[in-house]
Structure 1
Amino acid sequence: MAIVSLYRMCVILIMFHTSAAFNIDRSLCLETIIKFMHGQQKCRFNHTHADGLLRDVNVPIGGYCTQNEQCHGSEKSGVCEHHRCVCKTGYILSNFECHEGHLSLNQPCFFSEQCSRSPYTSCLGGICSCIEGYTAEESNYCVPVKVQVGGYCTQNEQCQGSEHSGVCDHGRCVCRTGYIQHNLICHKRNLALNQLCSFSEQCAGSPHTSCLGGKCSCIEGYTAENSSNCVKIKVPVGGYCTKNEQCHGSKNSGVCNHGRCVCRDGYVLFNLECHEGNLVLNQTCSLSEQCTGSPYASCLGGKCSCIEGYTAKNVTSCIQIQTSIFPNSQHKEETNIGNTLGALFGGLLLGVILTTVAAVFTYRRSKTHVNKRDELNVKFSDNDAVVDPNAFQNIHTKDGKQEVSPYSGSEETSMHNNVYEKLRNGQTQDDVQNHLYEQLK
């Protein structure tokens, strides 16, 4: 009965060891086993079998192990890797102790390896801090503080690697306002004429300039107007200008008038070219505006010639051609001298003929009037009756015209009355009247 009880005790101890041996103190467990093995009542298993079932649960960091449960000899341990107890994840081994690792900036530390969360950090004065040449940014990262222009950056404070920099723009260090980058150096920009320069992009203070010989100068085709402006020097006629020196883009120009290049005196503009003006007759021309040296002239057939209706008087003057007296005659530019003289003499002869005919007609008419007046002078010596040639002032001729005496005074009227009075009293009164009547028929 006692033997059965002892056996049961051994089985219980073995089961207890296999299920929770890691919670039993090492020395207590071994002492219990030894008593059972070397006491009066012995278990039926050997020492080797018991030693294979029991393991040390307080193996220090770096000690030999076969499973994680053994590695409790050091704080923050508990991991068996490659038969060695190591620190668990997130801790770092130092002097056989596990310390918390992956610390951020400004967290307490013992050594720099702990500050692994932020690059470019170290344990300085027991605190994780940025190493020299770096600075902490808002996201708890250390970034360089002397980045040259063109380098990567996240904040302005980093861009101290180049003079006149200090600006982080779109992730890159750039030059500050008023400067321009060249070969990782910030150079002053917006330089004016005659200022010292290293490259042409600096000379942006004056248009049409470049860095020539170490100074900002006007480029080819331009000239300095003042200390800040370059103006074009070969502006064609019609182009914009500010002074005469610019207007050399067209021949015979060179004059700036009201902001435009124009032809100089004596020349006229045509198709952006200056042509000689004030040409006289027979000089070679391209357009009529050139022929202003001779009035009434135009460019005909490449020469200055008189316009239609005019003819050349000399090398400089055009005179109007005389109009012909014949209605059907036509004017020609070149007048034939023979035709002109013929027309002149013909007109003169016709004038003489017409004048002669008019004179003859006038003479005959005046003679007819005189004869009629003479027939009115009737004298009868027997009766002493006298009729003066101008007695009747108002006697109508056969053609219905009234003959008027040049005498209309009172003496003539009295004389006429005396004649009629005598005729009225004499015996020959009827004869006189009949005679007058016959004359009037």
Structure 2
Amino acid sequence: MTAIKRFSSRDPDFETRLEALLAFENAQDESVDRAVAEIIADVRARGDAAVVDYTNRFDGVKAASIADLELPKDVLESALAGLSSVEREALEMAATRVRIYHERQPLQSWQYEEADGTVLGQRVTPLDRVGLYVPGGKASYPSSVLMNAIPAKVAGVGELIMVVPTPRGERNPLVLAAAALAGVDRVFCIGGAQAIGALAYGTQTVPKVDKIVGPGNAYVAAAKRRVFGVVGIDMVAGPSEILVICDGNTDPKWVAMDLFSQAEHDELAQAILLCPDAAYIERVAQAIERLLPAMPRHKVIRPALENRGALIKVKDLEEACSIANRIAPEHLELSVLDAEHWAQKIKHAGAIFIGPYTSESLGDYCAGPNHVLPTSGSARFSSPLGVYDFQKRSSLIRVSRSASQTLGKIAATLAQGEGLPAHARSAEYRIEKY
């Protein structure tokens, strides 16, 4: 039996149990942080040589120089050409849908002119160079390449540098094919903290970037934290999460498998069902027991469900939406009738999957919206990765001669109030004396 937690919103200890379920210790492992600090410092000091040394040591390769670790463009194109027709079509369709969705996002520059001739506005410009970290070896995700690279290219990023570890020389052709489709400019077969350090500070060969995006292990996450400020980062994501709100009208095995779809990521992933129908919750529990043994990743799914999973009975769908807003999950499925109505009740979620036919997995791969989403409740104040993450905004201010007379007096008054006389004098110098 899977010991997935079951409780009700009417239980006297509901608040305590919910808080315990959602609690996740995201503190850094001190040993990981120390190791990462040493690696990044070494990469910063020795550049290419350090990157090669760590890559040979950790990935079991025998590179003589970093030139041995950079893949020519024709290798990417060959990987794309070598895919089966089914794989290539799926990858191309996913890329097309992701591109079309993100092409609707770009923020435009704007400005307006006031009556006195003052012009105010905002200029939107792309980042010059972005680094994309892609996990390698067994945990290879071509979908992550598409989701990170395509919005960067749509934003107009000048150069996109991908780093991907290739343990024992193992290359994933789907990852390389995705890089070719997405328009990645350069690919280095390096990973871990050394790859993050190389991107953040630059080496003799690896260019310094302005921002680093993409998922990684604990060492990669710690490295991204450490270099933040030197470069931008997308986020330091926590374990994957899914919250399903169901009214009891969906096939229970669909819901069970949707819970599995996130639980199979790792043992710390979270999978929760909110439902007002106790009998239906029991049917989902039975479906979990029936389907789990046949899942190839059952040894990961089971502890995830037992540790951070729950089947929760709620009073009604109104209460379910209220609880969902408190949780602010990464993925929220509304597997209910009149799903559009209930979607209007949701304020906090990374992505909202509306209706029983909208499985979370479609969002992961091919629906179009980005699958890089805020976790650990950060959907309360964060957004999915998008074109806007690869652009920056500069304010535009052009004050006319006449406007400098009125604005100068306002600025001078406020500057004097703040005890900054040079600010005040700077404005006053432009005020004409009559």
Instruction: Work out whether the TM-score is over 0.5.
Output: no
**TM-score class normalised by the smaller sequence:** under 0.3
Whose helix proportion is higher, 1 or 2? 2
Greater RCO (Cα-Cα under 8 Å, separation 6 or more): 2
| TM-score, normalisation: structure 2 | 0.15
| TM-score, normalisation: structure 1 | 0.15
Whose strand proportion is higher, 1 or 2? 1
